[in-house]
Amino acid sequence: MKVVLVAAISLDGFITRHDEPGSNFTSEADSRYLQEILPHFDCCIFGGASFRVARTWMRQRLMPDKLRVAVTRSPETYADEAEPGRFEFTSDSPRKIIGNLGARGYQFCALLGGGQIYSLFLQAGCVDELWITLEARLFGTGTALCPGHVDIPLELISHDNLGGDTLLLKYRPNR
């Protein structure tokens, strides 16, 4: 089971513009790139806050034929919205979630944020690669890519220009 953290950030490391929910700051180049890569994953994971921000889009357009897993401290709240094998809610730890997905035959998982969930999985050692879209913008404030006191060394795998001023940086944790 391979887990790839997929995120778009400002040059100063924020995944949101100030306290604006969502990621409307991202470029056309990033949208095209996401449309290209997401079909290759067989499952994805995101946090409760990201789910609440983009609920309709996630239900209707985010990998609708694949398994989507929302991580929340109260999965029972979403019992009516859960569809086993398609849309699941869990409060399990990262290791348990990944172990469970692997045991069910899933092989390629996109970790789609937000910051709390990136941080949780990174700190648990459950991320194999980070695919970071770097947008040429500075925000000063916002939701951090990986909030908290962390120091996670990374190894650069590749760097590409997605078009215009937008870069794609791929890393792996240097364990």
Ligand X SMILES: NC(=O)c1ccc[n+]([C@@H]2O[C@H](COP(=O)([O-])OP(=O)(O)OC[C@H]3O[C@@H](n4cnc5c(N)ncnc54)[C@H](OP(=O)(O)O)[C@@H]3O)[C@@H](O)[C@H]2O)c1
What mask of x and - would describe binding to ligand X in positions 30 to 69, judged by CB under 6 A?
Answer: ----------------xxxxx--x----------------
Span 78-97, contacts to ligand X by CB under 6 A: 91
Stretch that binds ligand X, among 55-63, 103-111, 114-122, 156-164 (CB under 6 A): 114-122
Residue-by-residue DSSP string for 86-124: TEEEE---HHHHHHHHHHTT--EEEE---HHHHHHHHHT
Closest by CA position to 62, among listed 37, 84, 80: 37
Q: Is residue 114 reached through a cis peptide bond, with omega within 30 degrees of 0 on the bond before it? A: yes
Q: How far is CA 151 from CA 9, 44, 55, in A?
A: 18, 25, 32
Q: Does 111 sit near ligand X (CB under 6 A)?
A: no
According to DSSP, residue 77 is labeled: G
Taking a C-beta distance cutoff of 8 angstroms, is the pair 1, 129 a contact?
no
Position among 69, 113, 127, 131 found at the interface with ligand X (CB under 6 A): 113
Q: Closest approach of Cβ 53 to ligand X, in Å?
A: 4
Nearer to ligand X, 19 or 105 (CB): 19
Nearer to ligand X, 4 or 120 (CB): 120
Question: CB within 8 A of 154, min separation 6: which ones?
Answer: 130, 171, 172, 173, 174
Q: Does 112 sit near ligand X (CB under 6 A)?
A: yes
Q: Closest approach of Cβ 151 to ligand X, in Å?
A: 19
Q: Does 143 sit near ligand X (CB under 6 A)?
A: yes
Q: Give residues in contact with ligand X (CB under 6 A).
A: 7-8, 15-16, 21-23, 46-50, 53, 71-74, 91, 112-117, 120, 143
